[in-house]
Amino acid sequence: MELLYQYAWIIPVLPLVAAMIVGLGLISFNQVTNGLRQLNAVLIVFFLGTAMVLSIGLLVSQLQGHEPYRYMLEWASAGNFTLEMGFVIDHLSALMLVIVTSVAFLVMIYTDGYMAHDSGYVRFYAYLSLFASSMLGLVISPNLIQVYIFWELVGMCSYLLIGFWYDRKAAADACQKAFVTNRVGDFGLLLGILGLYWATNSFDFPVIGERLEQLVSSGAMSGAIASFLAILVFLGPVAKSAQFPLHVWLPDAMEGPTPISALIHAATMVAAGVFLIARLYPVFEPLPVVMNVIAWTGCTTAVLGATIALTQNDIKKGLAYSTISQLGYMVMAMGIGAYSAGLFHLMTHAFFKAMLFLCSGSVIHGMEAVVGHDPILAQDMRIMGGLRKYMPVTATCFLIGTLAICGIPPFAGFWSKDEILGLAFQANPALWAIGWLTAGLTAFYMFRMYFMTFEGSFRGNDQSLKNKVMDFYGLLTPAFGPGAMDVKELDHDTHHSHSPHESPIAMTLPLMVLAVPSVLIGLIGKPWANQFEAFIHAPGEAVEAIAEFDWSEFYVMAGSSIGIGLIGISIATLMYLQHKIDPAAIAEKFPTLYRLSLNKWYFDDIYDAIFVKGLRRLARQIMEVDYRVIDGAVNLTGLVTLVSGEGLKYLENGRAQFYALIVFAAVLGFVVVFSVV
């Protein structure tokens, strides 16, 4: 077993090697490599599968009580300054390794079916493998420098994958938006890292928190400065985990292929932010101001994402705003000191959200046979309906994921969300109230999505409805893009089916596998026998055994959580299944609130007006100043030099007496002038 720890660095290297092999093949022998599609896919899946097996071995070892393992070597040094690199295997990293590798493994299997006809099939697999490698490297990083390196690699891979269909304008804009928005957070993270090093003279996680607390307690550093540095670091997770106000990139990231949407939203990019908060928890915990900022940022994000998801018609964007809301719960949990509960929800959410996104991809795949490869028509829930009849496996898995995220027992989401709400009530009743209401909104919009997609009658053959949807988006012609198919298919009409179909086994098998943890994995976190908390708890804190479990408190908190969920489900049933309440009438009664939700609280419009258009205007003004003032001064200097040079050349006669006369006249002129003055 010790050998496994010594070679744990192989886990992120394996998918990296696979990505390099395929990438070099694409660069050097493009046609041959693309021709060996299945072979390349098998190679990448095999390497990641091996990494998954090793990760599971490390997790089992940690569960059995093996001591955390840390390996460091000198990377660079100059005088007293030394940079080290290495890896650390502890309870948190072992858990994250299993989450990342297992979800990525299933996503790659799913990809074979979803991207089967795409010309970029091999390239997509290479990107996926590189993405997984970057995330795995991040979770085993022992210090902030190494974290920052892999942090940026994760961002780069997300840029490549979100913009995978780069010839689709929406995808190109989305990847740019994700890149720029994350740079804002990353700049704050970099400043925070440098500031923490200035204060503590270390990049190591255990040392930073200990020394910073000592500096504050001794008075050597004010609490305000320490809080400022911690908030700068927190900006990194705010961007990566799509927290308010840097959340705007995540819904647009749905322009990428559905497999990467599942991976980003479940186990990689957005999880990286919550993971970093957990790693730096010893830095945040002693600073009450910072903890309050984290808690209220998460709370605001949770309710913001939920209120926007209420009116979304695109199935993937509805799930995207759901992710934003659930990430808000995790961040809020960290802010109130519920370290274990936040990471518990991260784990449960990874499995059921990956399943929900893969289900959405299965729906899109089935709808394309009817409506074609226009992403707007294939993803709009208004022209779906009745898909349970045609896609029973996908419908069942989507229902399981919906019940899990709504917090209905015994599904996984109930145990993690209920624990967060219970601890929030103890910490701050206001946070609990907002989180509790958000849970009701979650149940409503998730069952709205389920009913609109899988219940009722199929609406995909209604041409007038399709025209209405296109008019809603302001499009007169289909927004064709490469999609998960052969681009040549766009040259003629190939979709003759009048009904959707179930996806192939390569796509449905991962759904069925993910359904198992979506139902059962939450049971390890039962509050009366919380095995998860015994394994994952805040650094330096010991878990105390509960002498006697308070069942009455559990019944009250769990009952309120289930109750608000059932209320949301009931309202969704009356609106979208039984049609006893007209959603359009409610929208007409509250037009301001409806438009606010539909337009995503106008954040995109505000940011576009202030930052995009505003900065462009500023750039144009600076360019005018550069052109007229700076360039003008340079040009004027050149002109004066040219004219004076041309004039002086006629005074050149080669006689020293003449030059002496000119000097004498100049000196005499200066004497006269200064005498008068």
CA 522 to CA 401: how far, in whole Å?
13
Per-residue pLDDT averaged across 573-586, rounded?
92
pLDDT of residue 479: 46
Phi, psi (deg, nearest 5) at residue 314: -80, 120
What is the rounded (10 degree) CA torsion for 282, 285, 287, 289?
Answer: 140
Residues ≥6 apart with Cβ < 8 Å to 406: 413, 439, 442, 443, 446, 447, 565, 568, 569
For 17, the token pair is 């090697």
Residue closest to 612 by CA, chosen among 252, 250, 180: 180
Residues ≥6 apart with Cβ < 8 Å to 246: 181, 182, 184, 185, 235, 238, 239
Q: How many helices (H) and strands (E) does the chain have?
A: 32, 2
End-to-end CA distance of the chain: 93
659 has a pLDDT exceeding 80: no
pTM of the model: 0.89
pLDDT of residue 483: 45
Give the dihedral sign, CA 375/377/383/384.
negative
pLDDT of residue 473: 74
pLDDT of residue 544: 67
DSSP characters over 70-88 = EEEEEEEEETTEEEEEEEE
671 has a pLDDT exceeding 80: no
Question: For 115-158, how does the pLDDT look when each residue is reduced to its tens digit (9 = 90+)?
Answer: 888 888 999 999 999 999 999 999 999 999 999 999 999 999 99
Per-residue confidence at 555, pLDDT binned at 50, 70, 90? very high
pLDDT of residue 138: 95
* Token pair 């030099």 in the structure block, residue: 641
For 305, the token pair is 């994402």
CA 281 to CA 217: how far, in whole Å?
17
Burial class (CB in 10 A: 0-12, 13-18, 19+), 412: buried
Say if residues 205 and 72 touch (Cβ distance below 8 Å): no
345 has a pLDDT exceeding 50: yes
Helix, strand, coil shares of the chain, percent, nearest 5, are: 75, 5, 20
CA 306 to CA 443: how far, in whole Å?
10
Tell me the CA distances in angstroms from 434 to 302, 306, 317, 429, 441, one per residue in order.
9, 11, 23, 9, 11
365 has a pLDDT exceeding 70: yes
pLDDT of residue 487: 43
Phi, psi (deg, nearest 5) at residue 69: -115, 135
pLDDT of residue 478: 46
Which range has the top average pLDDT, 111-120, 349-358, 367-376, 599-608?
349-358
Give the dihedral sign, CA 494/500/506/510.
positive
H helices within 372-428, ranges in order?
Answer: 375-379, 387-390, 392-405, 412-427
Percentage of the chain exceeding pLDDT 70 = 93
pLDDT of residue 491: 41
Percentage of the chain exceeding pLDDT 90 = 62
CA 452 to CA 312: how far, in whole Å?
11
Say if residues 435 and 543 touch (Cβ distance below 8 Å): no
Per-residue pLDDT averaged across 88-106, rounded?
95
Element (H, E) at 69: strand 69-78
Say if residues 140 and 87 touch (Cβ distance below 8 Å): yes
Tell me the CA distances in angstroms from 4 to 8, 59, 61, 425, 521, one per residue in order.
6, 11, 10, 42, 26
| 567 Cα distance to chain centroid | 30
pLDDT of residue 342: 94
Question: For 464-501, how does the pLDDT look when each residue is reduced to its tens digit (9 = 90+)?
Answer: 888 888 887 765 444 444 444 444 444 444 555 788 88
CA 359 to CA 382: how far, in whole Å?
17
Q: How many residues does the chain have?
A: 677
pLDDT of residue 485: 42
Cis peptide before 410 (omega within 30 of 0): yes
390 has a pLDDT exceeding 70: yes
For 209, the token pair is 């928190």
CA 270 to CA 283: how far, in whole Å?
21
Kindly report the average pLDDT of the chain as a whole number: 88
Say if residues 96 and 275 touch (Cβ distance below 8 Å): yes
Give the dihedral sign, CA 114/117/119/125.
positive
Per-residue confidence at 515, pLDDT binned at 50, 70, 90? very high
Say if residues 112 and 41 touch (Cβ distance below 8 Å): yes
Per-residue confidence at 634, pLDDT binned at 50, 70, 90? confident
CA 181 to CA 99: how far, in whole Å?
26
Question: For 147-165, how does the pLDDT look when each residue is reduced to its tens digit (9 = 90+)?
Answer: 999 999 999 999 999 999 8
Say if residues 262 and 107 touch (Cβ distance below 8 Å): yes
Say if residues 456 and 339 touch (Cβ distance below 8 Å): no
CA 294 to CA 66: how far, in whole Å?
32
Say if residues 237 and 100 touch (Cβ distance below 8 Å): no
Question: For 422-461, how does the pLDDT look when each residue is reduced to its tens digit (9 = 90+)?
Answer: 999 999 999 999 999 999 999 999 999 999 999 989 988 8
Say if residues 423 and 341 touch (Cβ distance below 8 Å): yes
Count of CA atoms in the C-beta half-sphere (13 A) of 395: 19
| 281 Cα distance to chain centroid | 20
